[in-house]
Structure 1
Amino acid sequence: MGSLVPFQDLNLQLETTNFTSSPIPTPRIFPMIEPKLEPLDEYTQADLQTTPFFSNPSPNFNNSGSSSAFTPTQQLRTSDSIPPEIPPGFEETYVYSEFKRISDQYKEAFAGRMQHFGDVEVFEHLHSHVEVVEDPDSHAIVSVNNDTQASEIVIARKRYPQRSSELVRVTDLKPEDQRYHRDAVRRTRMLFDSLRILSNNQHLGPHRRRRGDLRACKILREHGLWMHRDKRIVGAIPGVLIGDVFFFRMELCVVGLHGQSQAGIDYVPASQSSIGEPIATSVIVSGGYEDNQDGGDVIIHAGQGGQDKHTRQCVHQKLECGNLALERSMHYGVEVRVIRVFKYEGSGNASGDVYVYDGLYRIVEYCFDIGKAGFGVYKFKLVRIENQEEMGSAILRFAQNLRIRPLVARPTGYVSLDISRKKENVPVFLFNDIDDNHDPVYFDYLVKTVYPPFVYQNVGSGNGCECIDGCGDNCFCAMRNGGQFSYDNNGILLRGKPLVFECGPHCLCPPTCQNRVSQKGLRNRFEVFRSRETGWGVRTLDLIQAGSFIFEFTGVVLTREQAQIFTMNGDSLVYPSRFPKRWAEWGDLSQIYPNYVRSAYPSIPPLDFAMDVSRMRNLACYIRYSSSPNAMVQPMLYDHNHVSFPHLMLFAMENIPPLKEISIDYGVADEWTGKLGHLRLTNLYSS
């Protein structure tokens, strides 16, 4: 599938602009500012020694109690740091107390730094001796002793194999290869999201909060599920498309797009490089450096290093590490991937940042210049390679304007600014700049599915929960879901099931209940659009996070007998029984846990009904078919208890960026539907 081109064939020398490096200026006098160190490489951290980091400063005495070379007083008095008021004989006590004070500060800073990078865990412990204990998984427990009862245990995390130093470029991918790699990335990202969401939902006590993205990343790494660890790919990552959006930085590491958890420049160190020189492979462009200039296709990217904790430049940068790697990539003509940090309201992150892949750039020149803070900064000019897809960050900006001022952003092409006629919470646009087909405006917009009257028989106030103060563990609806709710606090679906019960109109819980998600209608903006290749389609104008509710697939429900009569007239019917069980893929952890069994409760009988969409429908009827869809159908009940007639709710199976088309899998015809006549709504099943 495709070709792997080794690094030796990458020496496509680029004609670069001549430049003159600015001389390093004479340093001025500034107040002493401690620079912020660049994060350690992940594998350098993993190779930390597991011997005790600290020990007592006791001289080596012989059996007679005297030092083999000199007395302690003579040794200690050679230091000018001992205050003269310290009387003779107490020098060792003073020096040891000073050593302990400095050592404690160093331990706290060092252990805290290592814990921050996820390589060690530090625990307070009452101990009186030093010991090193190794476990079968190559963990080491190190007790740091001092003459007090309080000490610490530092647990070094499991070591992982080093990333490959072999540089390759993937070329000549056939369409079937592209689909294979795209599906592999899709499955990996879905597994990451499932682990992250479930980790966030675990009860960890009132004083501890776990970051699900870090937990998911760690689990995938332990199971060898990080992608492209056997080779370092130069250029595009197979299966990752320009415009793909990531909510969490650790996900970039998982799919192989950017291998550094904190540093903005990913590169092969000289010690691992086959040519003995560092080579940069990807760059994250953000507002972290005040000297960055982002013009879209042209970027002036400031090098790394020399910043304090407030991201202010405080010392001169050096041509080393990532800076040297960028210079070497320029020398050899090696392109780099660019990932931009984009501020997006409602991203779900505390910072509001998302990461969008914007394609490949070449480094055409660099120089050493005085930055805004008065210190020397390396500046690299990156130019986007031509004939690529439109930048994802540009699409995000355009979508923001489109949501606010659609007729200004796109003056022509809009047929209607709301085909729902204010029935939805937000307007549904209709866009067609291809032909004069305006069919969607002529249908009655149906917000919720219409069921036969018998479905609501025996439904009353006693059929819901009685959680007046809010639903908890003993909620009746939670019990019907298997003992827990199906959503997290942000309304993200935890796990796909054969059927999900939501609290409904017969429940006594408030409207803000966590278990009321899909029944509230649209939360995002969408537009129905016309395409020359596939006819009608639906695309989002908002960024939809994986696991989020999209909208309901609505229609007028018909029994089998009614459906057979309607099809004699050629009316348009949708058959829920044809939808494959894509919900089983969401939350599937079989790759992590061999004994994993997908959810089979609550179960429902085969869906033996059809939905008529010939006269009343919503935007779901215009969704395009895909064998690798980004949305799934999740059966749902909330307003009645007839399990044979669930609502068909659509949820996102992956992050769906703005202006990305929504797609689902309509399945194949069964014995019943296969005998029916040709449907008028042919675009429903077009590939």
Structure 2
Amino acid sequence: MGSLLDFSAPQNDAVTPPPTIIQPKLEPLDSVSDSDSLAPSHPPGIPFPLSQSQPSPPPNPNSNANVYSEFSRISQLFNTAFSDKAPQNDVVSSDKAAQNDVVSSPDALAIVARPQEGLSASVNRIRHPQHSSELVRVTDLNIEDERYFREVVRKTRMLYENLRIYGNLNDEKGLVGRRSRNDLKASSVMRERGLWLNRDKRIVGAIPGIEIGDVFFFRMELCVVGIHEQPQAGIDYLPSSRSSNGEPIATSIIVSGGYEDDVDTGDVIIYTGHGGQDKCFRQCAHQKLESGNLGLERSMHYGIEVRVVRGFKYEGSASGKVYVYDGLHKVVDCWFDVGKSGFGVYKFKIVRLENQPERGSLVLRFAQNLRVRPLEVRPRGYVCLDMSMKKENVPVLLFNDIDRDHEPLAYQYLVKSVIPSYVYQFGSSGCNCVLGCLSNCFCAMKNGGQFAYDERGILIQGKPIIFECGPSCSCPPTCRNRVSQKGVKNTFEVFRSRETGWGVRSLDLIQAGSFLCEYAGVVLTRDQAQVISMAGDNLVYPRRFSERWAEWGDVSRVASNYVRPSHPSIPPLDFAMDVSSMRNVACYMSHSRSPNVMVQFVLYDHSNVLFPRLMLFALENIPPLRELSLDYGVADELSPKLAICN
């Protein structure tokens, strides 16, 4: 793919600096606890063993004992995934592979349309492939191609997050001696199994399936999806040792604002090169025009765009930081200058390309201001600053700058669904955990032997139904098993859209696995639903929602004996929800075949499994002001939404 041409000889008239320390431009590590360790304590290439336990056989649906052993089985699957080792005769020397690699000329990049082989990996392959030196640019993708790549990226990121959460769960249960860097472990497992994306081709420019504004909480996740493949260095480049003519080419940079000579004004960045720094990131020697520095200069020479990711501290992030993909930029100038430290540094002027969506980092900051001063930040468009009339924990905004439609205000706002009174006759048996629930409490047993959420309230694994602690339980309101019943925590905005009619977006950055809200309406039996539907009102049928919950926690790509959860089980649901006069914010969410929100059935205030509540959880990290979407299962082919939501 692409012709193999020599680069032109580099033209460099820059002042030659004195000998220096050659060190990559390192970025600050993701925040971890003092007990965390970045460096693995085992030989390189071995994927972080947590234990040598063997996986249990699949559970027998007819055995109650197996129902309550689900946590042990999942933990063992996770441990086994980390303890698998590649056969010694199946490992390829990196040095030998590098000798056989060549690089295409940057001005003769291969143009590839939907290179599916670049985003799919053999699940059974244990050793990770050597990164290709072939430079390609992906172009001319149609809508189906974009949807395909987006789904591949979504599933890859979901697997990464699920592995990381399982690792945290093992730490919590005391299966390892200390809290560990499960973000590194998850990426290591996926790499050893060939599940990192875009390893067989080095993509220049946009990565298929990655959108401007996508957010990442961990640096290693950038490596997994192929945006930036240096675990810590700020400049990602094709090294000269793997190039046919000995010239490095830079493909992406990370801007974190942690270097004294960097200047970031948004669309224009003055980026400082790497090298000459001590262990405390202080400049102690002059820099040289080599490695990543030369890669940026050569990218400027050949007119090759670079991807820019911004990283900064963010309150509430799982790592203490957030990384945002901000699109494509070009290096337009390079010079050698005296830095603030008094040592010579290379500086690069990097300018954002035009006609791209708004920078994700700018949207994050805009949303932060919007939460505090909505009318000051957006003086026009707000119809109501709280359509829930203070029924929710936080306001639900109503925004329309397109027309005069105020339809959502015509409905009575429901915080939670109205369930027939006879359903509560079943009651709800609870636990006796007065001081707080432990893993052996009654409610944990009903969930299969584990809690449904981790310490941060993140859903661990999707299930047919989840039992939360309820009114009959003795545990305090702070119990970790009371997540969805506590209500909305994010600031949502119902907004008018020319594409989807009414839609919903959040002003907060939402982490994957987080609870959003209940899908609320008036619950009707089958007979009642038939009468209502004859009157012409549209109803929502819970049984029609796609079972996206099964995707959350699915690690079958790294654990071949993973079994989809079937306990606790529920019979087919046979009720409808009327939202024709009373509804909440969830009823305005768009329909999508690739949704970022899923429905999870939950019980907490009664024990009748025929009438669970519809709780919504995030399937991925959702940036502020990005539209929320559900897979309703059945939709009008002429509309991106169900008729009930239009």
1:633-672 pair list within 5 angstroms: 633-668=599-634
Q: Partners in 2 of 1:518 and 1:490 — Cα distance? A: 13
Q: 1:137-172 CA distances to partner (integer Å, 9 max, x unpaired)?
A: 3699xxxxxxxxxxxxxxxxx974321111111111
Structure 1 equivalent of residue 510 of structure 2: 544
**Are 1:170 and 1:233, in contact at CA under 8 Å, matched by a contact in 2?**
yes
Structure 1 equivalent of residue 136 of structure 2: 168
Q: Partners in 2 of 1:275 and 1:289 — Cα distance? A: 32
Structure 1 residue 650, shift from structure 2 partner = 0.5
Q: 1:309-358 CA distances to partner (integer Å, 9 max, x unpaired)?
A: 32221111111111111111111111100000032221122xx2100000
Structure 1 equivalent of residue 322 of structure 2: 354
Q: Partners in 2 of 1:479 and 1:436 — Cα distance? A: 52
Is residue 254 from structure 1 mapped to residue 205 from structure 2 by the alignment? no
Q: Partners in 2 of 1:317 and 1:24 — Cα distance? A: 7
Amino acid at match of 1:597: V
Q: 1:30-77 CA distances to partner (integer Å, 9 max, x unpaired)?
A: xxxx9794389xxxxxxxxxxxxxxxxxxxxxxxxxxxxxxxxxxxxx
1:237-276 pair list within 5 angstroms: 237-276=207-246
Amino acid at match of 1:180: Y
Q: Partners in 2 of 1:658 and 1:588 — Cα distance? A: 26
Structure 2 equivalent of residue 493 of structure 1: 459
Structure 1 equivalent of residue 408 of structure 2: 440
Gaps of 5+ in 2: 27-36, 50-84, 92-125
Cα gap change, 1:20 to 1:285, in 2 (>3 Å): same
Partner of residue 496 from structure 2, selected from 520, 525, 530: 530
Amino acid at match of 1:417: L
**Are 1:335 and 1:362, in contact at CA under 8 Å, matched by a contact in 2?**
yes
Is residue 577 from structure 1 mapped to residue 563 from structure 2 by the alignment? no
Is residue 451 from structure 1 mapped to residue 419 from structure 2 by the alignment? yes
Structure 1 residue 121, shift from structure 2 partner = 10
Amino acid at match of 1:378: Y
1:186-335 pair list within 5 angstroms: 186-202=154-170, 203-204=173-174, 207-335=177-305
**Are 2:128 and 2:193, in contact at CA under 8 Å, matched by a contact in 1?**
no
Q: Partners in 2 of 1:617 and 1:233 — Cα distance? A: 46
Structure 1 residue 6, shift from structure 2 partner = 5.9
TM-score when normalising by structure 2: 0.82
- Equivalent position SS for 1:176: helix
Q: Partners in 2 of 1:38 and 1:159 — Cα distance? A: 26
Structure 2 equivalent of residue 418 of structure 1: 386
Q: Partners in 2 of 1:167 and 1:362 — Cα distance? A: 17
Q: Partners in 2 of 1:538 and 1:277 — Cα distance? A: 48
- Equivalent position SS for 2:271: strand
Structure 1 residue 458, shift from structure 2 partner = 3.5
Structure 1 residue 115, shift from structure 2 partner = 5.2
- Equivalent position SS for 2:197: coil
**Are 2:391 and 2:415, in contact at CA under 8 Å, matched by a contact in 1?**
yes
Structure 2 equivalent of residue 563 of structure 1: 529
**Are 1:634 and 1:650, in contact at CA under 8 Å, matched by a contact in 2?**
yes
**Are 1:242 and 1:358, in contact at CA under 8 Å, matched by a contact in 2?**
yes
Amino acid at match of 2:556: S
**Are 2:518 and 2:615, in contact at CA under 8 Å, matched by a contact in 1?**
yes
Amino acid at match of 2:206: A
**Are 1:165 and 1:274, in contact at CA under 8 Å, matched by a contact in 2?**
no
- Equivalent position SS for 1:564: helix
**Are 1:6 and 1:166, in contact at CA under 8 Å, matched by a contact in 2?**
no
Structure 2 equivalent of residue 69 of structure 1: none
**Are 1:290 and 1:312, in contact at CA under 8 Å, matched by a contact in 2?**
no
Q: 1:200-259 CA distances to partner (integer Å, 9 max, x unpaired)?
A: 111345741122211110111111100000010000001101110001110001001011
- Equivalent position SS for 2:292: helix
Structure 2 equivalent of residue 609 of structure 1: 575
Q: Partners in 2 of 1:260 and 1:546 — Cα distance? A: 24
**Are 1:470 and 1:510, in contact at CA under 8 Å, matched by a contact in 2?**
yes
Partner of residue 466 from structure 1, selected from 421, 427, 432: 432
Q: 1:474-529 CA distances to partner (integer Å, 9 max, x unpaired)?
A: 21000000000011111111111000011111100011111110100011111000
Is residue 554 from structure 1 mapped to residue 544 from structure 2 by the alignment? no
Structure 2 equivalent of residue 147 of structure 1: none
Structure 1: which 4+ aligned runs deviate by more than 6 Å?
111-114, 120-123
Structure 1 residue 118, shift from structure 2 partner = 5.9
- Equivalent position SS for 2:188: helix
1:122-133 pair list within 5 angstroms: none
Number of matched pairs? 562
- Equivalent position SS for 2:137: strand
Cα gap change, 1:634 to 1:514, in 2 (>3 Å): same
Q: Partners in 1 of 2:525 and 2:644 — Cα distance? A: 21
Structure 1 residue 590, shift from structure 2 partner = 1.6
Structure 1 residue 135, shift from structure 2 partner = 9.2
Amino acid at match of 2:404: D
Is residue 511 from structure 1 mapped to residue 477 from structure 2 by the alignment? yes
1:367-378 pair list within 5 angstroms: 367-378=335-346
Amino acid at match of 1:307: Q
Gaps of 5+ in 1: 28-33, 41-110, 124-133, 141-157
Amino acid at match of 1:317: Q
Cα gap change, 1:614 to 1:159, in 2 (>3 Å): closer
- Equivalent position SS for 1:271: helix
Q: Partners in 1 of 2:245 and 2:354 — Cα distance? A: 29
Is residue 619 from structure 1 mapped to residue 605 from structure 2 by the alignment? no
Amino acid at match of 2:24: E
Structure 2 equivalent of residue 38 of structure 1: 24
Q: Partners in 1 of 2:149 and 2:5 — Cα distance? A: 25
